[in-house]
Structures are given as C-alpha cells and as structure tokens.
Structure 1
C-alpha cells in the first residue's frame, strides 16, 4: 500500500528519496510527492500517476536539500488528486502518513474551530495541523508529535519535518510498518527496507507506539510512554539483485521463475535434518504444539487459499480438525474459543492489518497457541506470535503473489507433517518418503516452468475473452481459486472458480463457446470425476483448457486443449499445479497489454482495513 521514505544527510537527499519511492512502487499507489527543507524554507512537489512524473517535476524545479520526506499514496480518504497527495503541510510543518485515522472527522471539526483551513479530503491533513497546533503551544517538533499521536485513533506510520528546524526529522508508528536506517553521518526512515537498501543495511524496526528523532548524527527512539529506549539494530539481508529485473520483462515473471530456488531455500531446514522436527518452529515449539487439539488458520487473499490447501493436508495427514477463515471476517464474528487450538496466521508481509487484528482478537479470547508463517523477518505478526516459520521467498515485488504463495504451501506442509509426527500418525518410513518428496519438489516445479511456451500460446486465446471459469476438485480446488484470482488481478478478465462437482448446481448456466474453462486435472483419486465434469462442459459447447499430469491419460479432442505437467507428485501436487495457472495469468495479461506488476486499484502490502 502507501510507501514512506525520508532522509537527513550531509548530501543532497532528493536522489535518495526518488530512488526510494521507485523501489516502493510495487506496493501499489496512485500519486507521489516529496517535501524538502532548504535552510529555513520548504518546497514540495506532488503529482498523480507514476513516480517518474513527479521526478521530472522535481528535477525541473531544481529541488536539492539535505533533509526531506517522500511518499507514494494509495487513495483511501479522498480521490486521486494532486491536492490529496502527500506530503501534507501546515504552516511550515510537512508530513507523510501511511494508515487510517479513525477519529479524523472529530479532529477536523476541532481544528477548524481553532482557525485551521483544510485544502484536502484526507485524514492525513488533520495530523499536520494537529502537530502545528502543539508546536504553536510551545512544544518542539518531537514533543508536538508525541502529543499529537496520543490524540489519534487508528493506524499510522508518520515522518515529519519542519522548516523551522532543518536539523531533525521525527517519526511515529502504530499499526503500520516503519523502520529507521542507520548510516554514517546520515539517517533514514522507510516503510520498507527496499526503499533505503541502496544507502544502508543497518535498520531498527520500530515497535507499536514508538516515536523517534533523527539527526545526521543520531537516532533516538522513545516508547509509547515517551521514555527513551534502545531498539535492536538488524542487518538486512535483502539483496539489491532481488530488487532488479535482470533479464526478465516483469517482476512477476522473474518471481515465477525464482520459485525452484525459493522452495529449495524454504525446504532447507527439513532437508538438512532429514526429518520433521519441532526445532523448525522455535525453541518453545514443544510447549505450543504438544497438545494441540485443532487448528484455526487466519489469512487474506492468496494466503487464504494457501490455508485452504492446508486444511486438506492437516485433516488427511495429521488427523486434526482445521478451520480456515478470512481474517477480516473472523475478527468481527463471535468465536468459540479453545485454548488448545493452534492459531496460524499467514502473511507475506507480516503487516497485513486484518490478519494482525484477527490475531489480536484470538489472543484476547485466551488463545495463546500462535504460529506465524511469514516472509519478512521482524515484521509485526511474527513479533506478536509465539512461534514463527519464515518462508524464504526473498523480496517479492510484483503485486500478484507467486513465490510467496508456493513457499507458504511448503511451510504449511511442514507444519502438517510435524503435527502428524507428534500425534503418532507418521512412521519413519512415511516420514522419509515425504522428506524425499520435498527434496524433489524444486525439480518438479522447474519442469512445470518449462511449459511456459505452450501456456503463452494458450494465452492468445484468452486475451479477447471477458470471462473465464476455473475448476478443481479436492485439494486442487483452492488452486483453481488462486488461478482465477491471478487472472482477474492482472489481466482484468472476470474469472470465477468452483469445485468441479458444483457445476450442475448453477455455474453450468454460464458455459458457452465464449467462456473458456480451465481445469486442474492431476492424476489422483478424483481424476475420473473430473473427466465426467469435463464432459458436462463439452456438451454445452464450452472450450476446455486442461492442466493434466503426464500420467493421467488425457487426450486432446475438439474443444479440449491439454497441457501435461510433470508426473503426479502425490500430496505436493497443488504446489506444482500452481505454476501453470500463474503463467497463464501472466501471459494473458501480456497479450492484453495490462500493467502486470502494478495492476489497477491493488496494493502489495495492505495495511488499512
């Protein structure tokens, strides 16, 4: 979602701000801007559209300064206009903001009564005026920020500068990610380490309620009670190579092809041990997992579909009951709590607001057996969980998740097998078989990637379509859901997914020659059922596109197109079958000419409700 970058240095920070904003483009945005302090004056440039348009305006204006802040905005309060773009200002105070202020209307009325004029429709402008109000009352910039945030309800990450104090920047965090980057005679702030990785790898992750003051020489952090505290300094392992396209046309294509490596890295712990062991989940895993009676998975979007696959695995392999809830629904319904239920949260970023709030709700009910599956170390959700399993997908830039999804599936499979072993449902022979299956998984995924030319040919037939249907059965039904989501996310073709057995209960009415039907057809126990469902579609004139295993004995015929994935890989088949639906969505979007990495209206890291 929105992105923040700020810098204070002895050099011109405008190039740092612009480069940082470009590296934050993947999060999704519709406008951008920067504000800089030059001696005791302030200049600001804002534009709707791409960062490159704002960059051109900043260069034309000759912006140059040693202190500045920048922002990419994803519209929430107020439309996509330059007036609503950040930074927002109030009589020499400028700030950028991620999040949503829930009591902004109340604060707006109060500030208007004090004589403040509002030029935007945003909740953010309230904060700028509120900080100025406290500075006018005799507080310095840090104290004014600390007083202001105590009057705000909601979520925020803030970076603030004042033209009256060009020697410092102040920041605050509540509910939205924010980190400080430590340099040599310069310091930085960002919502994502990728924004400042070109300048420093030494970072401090701010905690809930923290405020901080940055000068060129120091970074002082204060807790929610305004007491100065020490926060651990981390050295980021994000590589610049992971943030560059290299030989690929888009980040999505790059990340699809990075999956064999990402899966191998995520599997590494199991492969090295040669077994499923509690130590993979943390030092206190035996205490948390030892007496689990059921599992509750909480997630959003693609991560939710990963949880749906895990439900099949957990109930089949581990013999343990599992519920999967969309986090934004779970947090608003009455839940029957069970202190022996394991709460599993899944989030690529570790900052997904709905998932974080659902976790807080579960903990408020006394459910303290918590496990986070996440791709970003030290993010909020892992810090709030007793156990963590980090996927090792590396930086994922494309908005449509690919390698994060398949590594989440691997993590959930490892959890399944670990619980099965604890419950006496996994003997040594079967454990060895499943470990070996994981070792071979990256190779099977590479074989699936080799189908790209055939899938690209199919995509030409999808490009002119307006609707598509995806079908799957059993553990592959969530893969059909994921395929439909990917297609509509980046190609804007309306797509829906159903369990194939549900066709005759309604969706069959949609089928005609203009509705392509994609079928996930692995060589498993439901294959013959899927073949019968295909005949139902063909009888109505539907055109079929079937992803079948090499050993499933599918043959092409009129109106039935078949691409054969590798031989059936057993319980890990959903991971392999994820690859062709990702490639189909990618190439359909290419054929339609859409913006693959930055689909309209969507954001990568969703930190608002």
Structure 2
C-alpha cells in the first residue's frame, strides 16, 4: 500500500492511519520535489507495477531514460526523475532492458534488477526499493548522496543520516559509492560497484537520541536556532582551554595544508549559503584571504577555474582540493 500527502508529516500520518497502512517492511520519504511542483503526484514513493522507490539526489539523464521507457510502453504520472528509476528497475526485472540498453535476460530478483538499473543512472542517488513480489526484502543503493545501514537486534534499516536511526540502533554501516545492499530482518547482502561481495565496518554512533529529539520546539529549524549559543559556547570552551589554536585539531596534515592556502571557497545551499556570505566577511577580514561563495546545487553544472591552493568549505565538510580539481 502507498500513502502520500502534501504538507507536513502530520498530514501524512493522518493519511496512513486512514488507509490502514501496515507491514513488516516499508520505505518513507519527506522531500520537496527537485522536478515539478510540490504536489501529491510528485511525492515519493513512486511506483511501477508492484515495486516502489524513494530517492535522494538527482538523475541527470532521466529525460533520455524516460523517452526510452515510454517507447517500451511505460506511462508516467509525475514530473519527477525518481519515477524514471522505478520504471527502469521494472524494465530490468522483465528483461526489457539489458546490456548496452538492449533487451536482455530478466533479472532473477529485485536485488539483481536494482543492480542492473543503477548501471544506467548518471547523477547522484540514494535509493530504497521494495516490491510486492519479495515481501520482507529492502534493496538500497548509493552513488553520491549519503546512505547508511542500521544494524538492529530485531531488524535492519537504512537512512540518509545517522540521527534518523538512533531510535532503533546506534550500530551503523556507512555505504560507499556504487554499493548496493539487500536487507532482510536477519541478514544484509552487500556488493560494490563492480558487483563483488564486500564487507563494510559496523561502527557505533556517538550521537545520543536526546540530541535529535524535537522536545518543546515547534520544528527542527527552531531547535537548531536556539541551540546555536550552546553549540558555540561548547566550541569556544574547548578552544579557550588551549594555550593556542593548533592546526592539528583539523587533521594531521592541516599545518602543511594551511600554509599553502591562498583562497577560500564556500559551497552551500539555502540558509547555509547565507551563513557562508556572512563568513566571507569574517574570513577576508581576519584571515586576509579572498573568499568566494557558490550555490552548491548550481556549482557542479558550470565550468569553474580550479585553484590547487584553495580551501573548499561545504556546509558539512571541509576539503582541500588536489591540483587540477575544481571542487
């Protein structure tokens, strides 16, 4: 069964209750559509036959895949790139698409169909797929967008962020680009981009469930705003207890790297980009380095001029580009 609603999670909860959705395996997503207006028809999950998909990221070649799938008789009901993924997996499962885009042998199961389909995708994605034909099974895949597994005592889980899993487990498996995994209540089967079985380390998250609870706040943005003084205070307390600010706190090679930096690039979206614009003034005033701010969703699509001595800062990561790299 599928339940979708436009608006807040409360609307979706009411829809789920009304429809009586229940089961041992499920996928869910809250997302403002990348393609198309925010509307129920564009909301995840997207379906094809008896399978359903949720997706983080953006598929850059979805238009050509959509045309190919329409030629095979698939009908589209949304404006999204994600619906293309659902139909593509179905086509692989039926053998309508195989090697080099030609008709091939039908995939033997959902796991094989997803592995077939992701070979055609260009862009970034974190996928979760379920099917009526394989009850009790969840298949996930990652390329570019973050995705991790949760190892619990009574089942296995997947999410794009560790905080989403803390209510069920603190034991996490961080997937790498190209990984595809099949999850059941009792087992995890994992292959890399080459189709080879691999094992990934199970790590225990240090986050506490309290850190991600909404508490008395109306929404998480409000919670983050009110927690900023405490977060800043904790950071300053750590630094003030030291005789000086040592580059080593940023990594073992930071001292050598910082000595070469002659510019800073901040890449971020939304409110993070606004914060970056403010930081630009501070960085140029305090550090004496030129600083540029780029909108992350647009930066990857333009031809940039790489600076091997530029420090690149994202909203969640810091990176020092190697020579010849632009991001």
Q: Same fold (TM over 0.5)?
A: yes
The answer to whether residue 50 in structure 2 is matched with residue 92 in structure 1 is: yes
The answer to whether residue 314 in structure 2 is matched with residue 365 in structure 1 is: no
> Residue 209 of structure 1: which of 163, 173, 178 is its match?
178
Which position in structure 1 is the counterpart of 2:113? 144
Which position in structure 1 is the counterpart of 2:78? 120
Q: 1:338: Cα distance to partner?
A: 4.1
Q: Deviations over 1:5-64 (max 9, x none)?
A: xxxxxxxxxxxxxxxxxxxxxxxxxxxxxxxxxxxxxx2122222222222222222222
Where do 1:128-167 residues align within 5 Å?
A: 128-137=86-95, 138-139=106-107, 140-167=109-136
Which position in structure 1 is the counterpart of 2:103? none
> Residue 235 of structure 1: which of 204, 217, 227 is its match?
204
Could you say which structure has the larger radius of gyration? 1
Which position in structure 1 is the counterpart of 2:164? 195
Q: 1:109: Cα distance to partner?
A: 1.6
Q: Deviations over 1:385-407 (max 9, x none)?
A: xxxxxxxxxxxxxxxxxxxxxxx
Q: Partners in 1 of 2:84 and 2:19 — Cα distance?
A: 28
Indicate how the Cα distance of structure 1 residues 302 and 72 shifts in structure 2: closer, same or farther if over 3 A, else same. Answer: closer
1:207 is paired with a residue whose SS is coil
Structure 1 contact 83–119 (Cα < 8 Å) conserved: yes
Unaligned ranges ≥5, structure 2: 96-105
Q: 1:95: Cα distance to partner?
A: 1.1
Structure 2 contact 141–180 (Cα < 8 Å) conserved: yes
2:260 is paired with a residue whose SS is coil
Indicate how the Cα distance of structure 1 residues 53 and 285 shifts in structure 2: closer, same or farther if over 3 A, else same. Answer: same
1:228 is paired with a residue whose SS is coil
Q: 1:171: Cα distance to partner?
A: 0.5
> Residue 292 of structure 1: which of 232, 249, 261 is its match?
261
Structure 1 contact 298–343 (Cα < 8 Å) conserved: no
> Residue 66 of structure 2: which of 105, 108, 131 is its match?
108
Structure 2 contact 280–293 (Cα < 8 Å) conserved: no
Q: Partners in 1 of 2:5 and 2:52 — Cα distance?
A: 16
Q: Deviations over 1:540-568 (max 9, x none)?
A: xxxxxxxxxxxxxxxxxxxxxxxxxxxxx
Q: Partners in 1 of 2:284 and 2:40 — Cα distance?
A: 52
Which position in structure 1 is the counterpart of 2:26? 68
1:75 is paired with a residue whose SS is coil
Indicate how the Cα distance of structure 1 residues 76 and 144 shifts in structure 2: closer, same or farther if over 3 A, else same. Answer: same
- The one of the two structures with greater contact order (alpha-carbon pairs below 8 A, sep at least 6) is 1
Structure 1 contact 297–322 (Cα < 8 Å) conserved: no
Where do 1:290-369 residues align within 5 Å?
A: 290-318=259-287, 320-328=288-296, 331=300, 332-335=302-305, 337-339=306-308, 341-348=309-316, 350=317, 363=322, 365-366=324-325
Indicate how the Cα distance of structure 1 residues 245 and 298 shifts in structure 2: closer, same or farther if over 3 A, else same. Answer: closer
Indicate how the Cα distance of structure 1 residues 216 and 254 shifts in structure 2: closer, same or farther if over 3 A, else same. Answer: closer
Which position in structure 1 is the counterpart of 2:189? 220
Q: 1:276: Cα distance to partner?
A: 1.0
Q: 1:105: Cα distance to partner?
A: 1.7
Q: Partners in 1 of 2:48 and 2:289 — Cα distance?
A: 55
2:232 is paired with a residue whose SS is helix
Q: 1:227: Cα distance to partner?
A: 1.6
Indicate how the Cα distance of structure 1 residues 128 and 324 shifts in structure 2: closer, same or farther if over 3 A, else same. Answer: same
Q: Partners in 1 of 2:121 and 2:228 — Cα distance?
A: 42
Q: Partners in 2 of 1:200 and 1:121 — Cα distance?
A: 35
Structure 1 contact 289–342 (Cα < 8 Å) conserved: no
Structure 1 contact 269–280 (Cα < 8 Å) conserved: no
Q: Deviations over 1:554-587 (max 9, x none)?
A: xxxxxxxxxxxxxxxxxxxxxxxxxxxxxxxxxx
Greater shift in the superposed pair: 45-54 or 148-157: 45-54
Q: Deviations over 1:351-382 (max 9, x none)?
A: xxxxx9xx79x547247xx9xxxxxxxxxxxx
Larger proportion of helix? 1
Q: Partners in 2 of 1:159 and 1:85 — Cα distance?
A: 15
Q: Partners in 2 of 1:223 and 1:330 — Cα distance?
A: 28
Q: Partners in 2 of 1:306 and 1:56 — Cα distance?
A: 36
Indicate how the Cα distance of structure 1 residues 310 and 247 shifts in structure 2: closer, same or farther if over 3 A, else same. Answer: closer
Q: 1:322: Cα distance to partner?
A: 1.9
Q: Partners in 2 of 1:165 and 1:213 — Cα distance?
A: 11
Q: 1:271: Cα distance to partner?
A: 2.8
Q: 1:128: Cα distance to partner?
A: 1.0
Q: 1:199: Cα distance to partner?
A: 0.9
CA RMSD of superposed structures (Å):
2.7
The answer to whether residue 25 in structure 2 is matched with residue 77 in structure 1 is: no
Counting matched residue pairs gives: 314
